[in-house]
Amino acid sequence: MDGTVGLFIMTISFGIPFKTDGDGGPLYFSVPFSVPRKGIIQHFLWQITLFTWNVRDCIDKFKKMICITGRGGAMKLMLDPGHGGHDPGAVAHGLREKDLTLDIAQRIRHMLEAEYEGVEVRLTRESDTDVSLSQRARMANQWGADFFLSIHVNAGGGTGWESYRFPSVPARTVTYQDIIHAEVIREVQVTDRGKKTANFVVLRETAMPALLTENLFIDNAQDAARLKDAAFREKLARGHVAGLAKAFGLKRKEAPVVPGPFPDVPSSHWAAEAIQVVKDAGLMTGREDGSFGPNEPVTRAQMAVILAALLKKIYG
């Protein structure tokens, strides 16, 4: 913990009122207090010199250091499709970065909402619109997001996939990067360019753990061919989702129970489809209690009835 945040915490602890001097110079204030010891009141005077700081920036920094996430309900994820509007991002091979990032982000949201419980997803932009970098961070901060994930596509003649976090972050953010990075690489099987750090605005100004991913190189012919393939973009989204689910312990939604042809023949039974076919064709029926008895042996008389029904179906 650095000195600025330490003083901020101490100020809250002692309830010391303070204000700036208005011209950007140093601020001085005193904190008198007394401590009884062996019947003698000993007075101490602390002279503390502070320099003017931006209180909101200090609070944001404090929150980021202790990882206040606002959890208490659904995990809140802010997805940030890079660029947009008048800013196309990198352009090459008939592709625009802003289109790819929005497509991947929307796929990530759809998968999370369709397959997992307890997750709420928002996007910094829903269409081809202009949103400044600071505004993107502000949207996440004001919403109280638990995690910020910015999606980008690289350029510069390289190849492969990489991820970025802010240089000075809690261990928890590093863990999130490790998990998500590994899951994406496992899913897409491309060159791993490594886990990196950078002083990007959206990583610096967000008050929650944040990650930025660079999804291949738009100006590399082989990478661009992959990015043009919707199935590959689906795999990119799937890798991000797998990482998020693992990092935040998201619970998969239970698959709806599909009824089988009979109460004692669930849809998961190895012969359910065949039993459904012969039932629909009128070749076999259930017992008086409505069950089928899939594991019971068939008598010769029962087989004769089944074959007779089949012959009638064929010859009328």
Query: In this model, does residue 20 exceed pLDDT 70?
Result: no
| H-state helical runs in 229-298 | 230-248, 272-280
Enter the tokens of residue 46.
Answer: 């602390």
Residue 137 falls within a domain, yes or no? Answer: yes
Q: Are residues 242 and 298 in the same domain?
A: no
117 annotated active-site: no
Query: What mean pLDDT is predicted for residues 284-305?
Result: 85
Query: How many domains is the chain partitioned into structurally?
Result: 3
Q: How far apart are CA 119 and CA 90, in angstroms?
A: 31
Tell me if 170 sits within 8 A of 102, measured CB to CB: no
Q: pLDDT (tens digit, 9 = 90+) per residue, 169-223?
A: 999 999 999 999 999 999 999 999 999 999 999 999 999 999 999 999 999 999 9
pLDDT of residue 235: 96
Q: Are residues 12 and 124 in the same domain?
A: no
Q: From the CB of residue 52, how many other CB atoms can be counted at a distance below 10 Å?
A: 14
Answer yes or no: pTM beyond 0.85. Answer: no
Of the listed 214, 234, 273, 288, which one is catalytic? Answer: 214
Q: Are residues 187 and 281 in the same domain?
A: no
**Helical (H) or strand (E) element with 286:** none
Q: Are residues 143 and 185 in the same domain?
A: yes
Q: Are residues 179 and 226 in the same domain?
A: yes
pLDDT top residue among 268 and 77: 77
Residue 61 falls within a domain, yes or no? Answer: no
| Residue 227 belongs to domain with CATH number | 3.40.630.40
Enter the tokens of residue 274.
Answer: 């065949």
In order, the DSSP letters of 192-204 are EEEEEE---HHHH
Residue 161 falls within a domain, yes or no? Answer: yes
Tell me if 210 sits within 8 A of 150, measured CB to CB: yes
Q: Are residues 19 and 85 in the same domain?
A: no
The residue among 11, 30, 53 that closes a domain is 53
Q: pLDDT (tens digit, 9 = 90+) per residue, 57-92?
A: 444 445 444 444 444 589 999 999 999 999 999 999
The residue among 221, 252, 283 that closes a domain is 252
In single-letter form, the type of residue at position 103 comes to D
Q: Are residues 27 and 105 in the same domain?
A: no
Q: Are residues 226 and 194 in the same domain?
A: yes
In order, the DSSP letters of 127-168 are SS----HHHHHHHHHHHT-SEEEEEEEE-SS--SEEEEE-SS
Compute the mean pLDDT over every residue in the chain, rounded to the nearest whole number. 81
Residue 197 falls within a domain, yes or no? Answer: yes
Phi/psi for 237 (5° steps) reads: -65, -40
Query: What mean pLDDT is predicted for residues 160-166?
Result: 98
pLDDT of residue 288: 82
Q: Are residues 78 and 217 in the same domain?
A: yes
Q: Are residues 45 and 168 in the same domain?
A: no
Q: Are residues 188 and 80 in the same domain?
A: yes
Domain coverage including residue 181? 67-252
Residue 171 falls within a domain, yes or no? Answer: yes
Give the helix, strand, coil percentages of the chain, each rounded to 5: 40, 25, 35
Residue 267 falls within a domain, yes or no? Answer: no
Q: How far apart are CA 151 and CA 131, in angstroms?
A: 14
Q: Are residues 42 and 77 in the same domain?
A: no
Residue 261 falls within a domain, yes or no? Answer: no
Residue 285 falls within a domain, yes or no? Answer: yes
